[in-house]
Amino acid sequence: MQFHQNGFHPGDPRYSDPQDAVVAPPIKRPMPKEVDVLIVGCGPAGLNMAAQLSQFGNISVAIVDQKDDRLLVGQADGIACRTIEMFQAYGFADQIIQEGYQVNEAAFWKPDADKPFEIARSGKVADVADDLSEMPHLIINQARVHDEFLKVMQQSAIKLEPHYQRKLLSLEVGDASAEYPVTVQLERMVNFSQYSQEIETVKAKYVIGCDGARSAVRSAIGKELVGDPLNQAWGVMDILLNTDFPDIRLKSLIHSNNEGNMLIIPREGGYMVRMYVELDKLKENERVARDQMTAEVLIAAGNRILAPYSIDVKQVAWWSVYEIGQRITTAFDDSTDDRAARVFLAGDACHTHSPKAGQGLNTSVMDTWNLGWKLAHVLTGRADESLLTTYSAERREYGQALIDFDRKFSAMFSAKPKSAENPDGVDPAEFQRYFQLFGEYTAGVSIQYRPSIMVSDGIHQELATGLTVGKRFHSAPVVRQGDAKPVQLGHCHTANGAYRVYAFAGNAAPFSADCGVKALCHFLAEDAASPVKKYTPAGAEMDSIIDVRAVFQQHHQEVNTADIPAALAPLKGTLGLRDYEKVFCADNRPVSSGGGKDIYEMRGINREHGCIVIVRPDQYVAEVLPLNDYAGLSQFFAGVLK
């Protein structure tokens, strides 16, 4: 899509008249007196948490923010492949992909060897390695992501909307045995008189602090950010421009000789660009002199760095300055030796770092993607409260890894290029190699959670070598048997809090007497030890807690619909209609038709024996088992469900 050619306007670019894209703020209304979950902060972490909890229908949720309305412009813009996979679970990945700028290549620039005060291109590399994800790396205004989360919330059964203009005054955790042990006081920021103060009190079972680097929730539970001081200033601006710089529509990492460094990120719409411009080093405890900083200062700095090229800025849509510092909170929740956690922290309330590696929004939403379903399982009685301890265990380790990565990446990016005059500088070629080496990390797919009640030790990993236990489920193309539609298997994962059990068949004929999937389906449907029978509540749909799917090696036309057992053809809804979308086959279509990508080969599935792959509600592989290991299947779910 191309847009913004007549100037920048926030909101959905599909509207011809930008005024039609304006969304009215929610009706101002009082806070509820009691809620299951109170979320503080309407950033990406908070909205993701709210969107996820809204899918359950029977959990009362409120989300508050000091702002007077939804975000319109600025802040984060990089959306990692893994985050787009998560968006798919909500159903809005296609919308974001269509609208966003797709990062395919990165260009590297360094001082010209013959003209050291000018820059020259040193190389180009693919931004995303082949088969890293079925999803692209995108650039899009963070506000558009917020809009999609808000839409999910509004369209849910509880029709959730934020309460804006609320400032957290106090938070206290009382008697842990009380139904609503957390008491929060909020100040309503709009009053009819400057001499009056309207205070609202809300009692909650749990509070989630997603209120940013200066988190009031974090302060209220006695935690703090610790780490490196702020010692490097950068400017950022979203601009519409003309330029003779040849890589203006590529992600470009630029090292100049003496004028500083720059990162160029093309933005959605085909015309807008984001530029990160290096400013001066800061002394200890020094902050940027914002009153002396203007967009013109940043533009002038950008022109000096880009020499011999230049930019002619037509409009500045947004600009800001910030200081780099890598810090992490002393704890991700308020648990003690005597009490389970009632307050959790997520997003920038937990970790802060530079934006140049594009990890801020992506890490923040993955915090609440990890926590949301666990909290929902506890609140709905599916799981014991001890499940919540895995949030801090899993996300704190990754948060620290993020800080360590960002510290090195920022230092390399901010350093002067290596030269005869600066022998201790960074070799641009080394920086390019580092960029490529950590491609999995920046794409968000490198996370591997350690063994716990949620993740096995992977003793049967050889049955599915490409679906690593503890890592996200790596999707691959398949053909859905019922309608012969080519699909991505990972897109079966929706944000409904259900576990997925994939039964990959061995080499026996589909649903024959020797078929291991047929035997597994009989166990799941008939045996008293079946986790599907044991943990599915009375009256609930059969796949609401454990969603079973099957994958066969054979061509989809070799699978007879009449042979599919009830475990793979549940009756759904008030009318009891049969679900025809539980059985898949390897994509045996001709390459000329887009086929030829065999999931068994791509993901190292054992062709002779097949296997079972259990996937958590947040799309991470929890266990790989032999296809006939019914005891192992039952044992896993006994540890996480009740």
Q: Is 175 a catalytic residue?
A: no
Q: What is the DSSP string of 125-181?
A: EESS-TTS-SSPPEE--HHHHHHHHHHHHHTSTT----EESEEEEEEEE--TTSSS-
Residue 417 has φ and ψ, to the nearest 5°, of -65, 150
From the list 355, 417, 477, 570, the catalytic residue is 355
Q: Please enumerate in sequence order all residues whose Cβ is within 8 A of that of 365, keeping only pairs 6 or more positions apart, or say none.
A: 44, 45, 48, 83, 86, 347
Nearest to 133 by CA among 82, 95, 172, 189: 82
- Cα–Cα distances (Å) from 187 to 163, 392, 567, in that order, read 12, 30, 52
Separation of alpha carbons 547 and 566, rounded Å: 13
**Backbone Cα Rg of the chain:** 26
CB 267 within 8 A of CB 232: no
Separation of alpha carbons 591 and 448, rounded Å: 33
Q: Where are the alpha helices (DSSP H) in 416-562?
A: 428-437, 439-442, 516-526, 531-535
CB 361 within 8 A of CB 78: yes
Q: Is 355 a catalytic residue?
A: yes
The SS3 call for residue 217 is helix
Using DSSP bridges, classify how beta strands 34-40 and 61-65 pair: parallel, antiparallel or unpaired.
parallel
From the list 36, 65, 77, 367, the catalytic residue is 77
Separation of alpha carbons 626 and 613, rounded Å: 9
Separation of alpha carbons 25 and 150, rounded Å: 11
The letter for the amino acid at 364 is S
- Cα–Cα distances (Å) from 533 to 57, 456, 540, 563, 614, in that order, read 23, 23, 11, 22, 17
Q: Please enumerate in sequence order all residues whose Cβ is within 8 A of that of 466, keeping only pairs 6 or more positions apart, or say none.
A: 474, 602, 603, 604, 605
> DSSP letter at 128?
S
Structure tokens at 431: 């920086």
Structure tokens at 44: 């990406």
Tokens 């770092």, residue located: 353
From the list 144, 166, 267, 396, the catalytic residue is 267
Separation of alpha carbons 92 and 87, rounded Å: 6
Using DSSP bridges, classify how beta strands 198-209 and 343-345 pair: parallel, antiparallel or unpaired.
parallel
Structure tokens at 411: 């230092």
Q: Is 549 a catalytic residue?
A: no
Q: Please enumerate in sequence order all residues whose Cβ is within 8 A of that of 292, keeping only pairs 6 or more positions apart, or say none.
A: none
From the list 206, 276, 499, 620, the catalytic residue is 276
Structure tokens at 308: 């011999």
Query: Does the N-terminal peptide bond of residue 308 adopt cis geometry, omega within 30 degrees of 0?
Result: yes
Q: Is 427 a catalytic residue?
A: no
Residue 633 has φ and ψ, to the nearest 5°, of -65, -45
Q: What is the DSSP string of 5-56?
A: TT----S-TT-SSGGGG--PPPPP-PPPSEEEEEEE--SHHHHHHHHHHHTS
Tell me the catalytic residues.
77, 267, 276, 355
